[in-house]
Amino acid sequence: MAVSSSLFTSAFQGSMSLSSRKTCNKDFMFNHSSLSKQSGYLKSIYPRNPRFLPNEKLTKLELTNRLSERKGALCCALELDNTPSFSVGKKFQLDDVIEAQQFDKEDLSAIFEVARQMELIEKNSPGSQILKGYLMATLFYEPSTRTRLSFESAMKRLGGEVLTTENAREFSSAAKGETLEDTIRTVEGYSDIIVMRHFASGAAKRAAATADIPIINAGDGPGQHPTQALLDVYTIEREIGKLDGIKVGLVGDLANGRTVRSLAYLLAKYKDVKIYFVSPDVVKMKDDIKDYLTSKGIEWEESADLMEVATECDVVYQTRIQRERFGERIDLYEEARGKYIVDRRVLGAMPKHAVVMHPLPRLDEITVDVDSDPRAAYFRQAKNGLYIRMALLKLLLVGW
């Protein structure tokens, strides 16, 4: 059962009166968001971040009284049962965002609600100071436009500051042979949260195991891209109006595409979902994702016919063939490139309510004449990334 604390304070004069209420001191209000962590609601599959936790030997009441005695007042915590579970962090169980499997369906709904609040802040409340005093480091070992800039924009729009390195693989001490673990231990000394993109699958887990501050995986090679998947599901809900009972066609480089892997994990949280895999033979979806979907009771189908799949889908999720993943096998890249292109003909086959999505950047896999169709959702999708990342930064740094 969800429990939250409403704090009422009165001067201590031998008895407590709720008629003379004051606000508890700021020290307590800061620790209030951490108390729910201490009380067992926040558990993580990654090492807990002690920086934001109170002394675990203190009970909630002891900490309340100790902080209040400084002001000559006594704070009383009243337990309420009628608040949403996510309001006290009960279901947001993460210290880091590393992979899509970390989230459950309730987590997603709660995060999306915070993202809607962030959209209102971005549009109506310029100069927000929610994250004033916090510093985010962006550590990118691979190129990025949307992910890096949207994270930096998100932090600044909430009043925080940013330290950035755009090409850490070439212009950081990694070029001198420094290990990822040593880099993380150093950078966490300068910042409150690290957003990292790396060329090696599993690098984000290594960073999270090393750091005492939150780590957000902004893409780790062909592994995962969880924040992209979050914004993708958020976009689908906004565009289609539902997440249960949808049909999604994943198209393009499914073997190397970290976005489609993470998206498949999240779609498996919902009921009656069907996923179509449409790709050249050399970049088919890997068996681990197929096995996972099967284990969750999610129907999936491989197809070589994009036009046929387009007639069935609520979402056609196109991706580019990633040349950088082929190494010296340029022949395989050329074999895969250009086989599946979303153009006006594909749009004509799609249902009127359906949308085309793409994690971007695109090359030639969506023709530019598709852009003017209202079903082209990919630039709205990119904008939604700002709101999701604002929400994640807020949740990881200051809680609900």
| Catalytic residue ranges | 146-147, 176, 197, 225
The CA–CA distances, whole Å, from 375 to 32, 207, 266, 358 equal 44, 39, 22, 12
Residue pair 121/156 in contact by the 8 Å Cβ criterion: no
Residue pair 356/375 in contact by the 8 Å Cβ criterion: yes
Residue pair 122/390 in contact by the 8 Å Cβ criterion: yes
Helices (H), 174-225: 180-187, 203-210
CA–CA distance, 141 with 219 (Å, rounded to integer): 10
Q: Which amino acid is at 95?
A: D
Number of H helices, E strands in the chain: 14, 11
- Per this entry, what is the length of the chain? 400
CA–CA distance, 9 with 105 (Å, rounded to integer): 37
Q: Which of 111, 103, 102 is nearest to 205 (CA)?
A: 102
Which residue in this structure is represented by tokens 């004051």?
A: 22
3-state secondary structure 274-312: EEEEECCHHHCCCHHHHHHHHHCCCEEEEECCHHHHHHH
- E strands along 81-180, which residues? 135-140, 161-165
Region of residue 245 (phi > 0: left; psi between -120 and 50: alpha; otherwise: beta): left
Distance of CA 269 to the CA centre of its chain: 15
Residue pair 391/111 in contact by the 8 Å Cβ criterion: yes
State whether residue 268 is helix, strand or coil: coil
The CA–CA distances, whole Å, from 111 to 106, 243, 384, 400 equal 9, 15, 13, 9
